[in-house]
Amino acid sequence: MLRDALAVFVCTVDEMMVAHSHAVIIGEFKVVLLSPRSDEPLLYADGLLTTLHKAGDMVTG
């Protein structure tokens, strides 16, 4: 597991549907671990790493 992760999901995969460079994974969460830290998670959007706050700014203008 990733030591500094804000969240860790342990899952079983039932099915994976791949289309080009993306995949939809159908499965079941077995364990969800959340960090006590309050850092903002990173998101990948429009070819850049961003945060939820900054991504909201991109959407609203």
State pLDDT tens for residues 5-55: 889 999 999 999 999 999 999 999 999 999 888 888 888 878 888 887 765
Domain assignment present for residue 29? The answer is yes
Q: Of the candidates 17, 56, 53, which has an alpha carbon nearest to the alpha carbon of residue 38?
A: 53
Residue 2, pLDDT above cutoff 80: no
Domain count, the chain: 1
pLDDT for residue 8 = 92
Residue identified by tokens 């992760």 is: 5
Q: Give the residue numbers spanning the domain of 14.
A: 7-60
Domain assignment present for residue 33? The answer is yes
Supply the DSSP string of the chain, one letter for each residue.
--TT-SEEEEEEEEEEEEETTEEEEEEEEEEEEE-S--PPPEEEETTEEEEHHHHHHHHH-
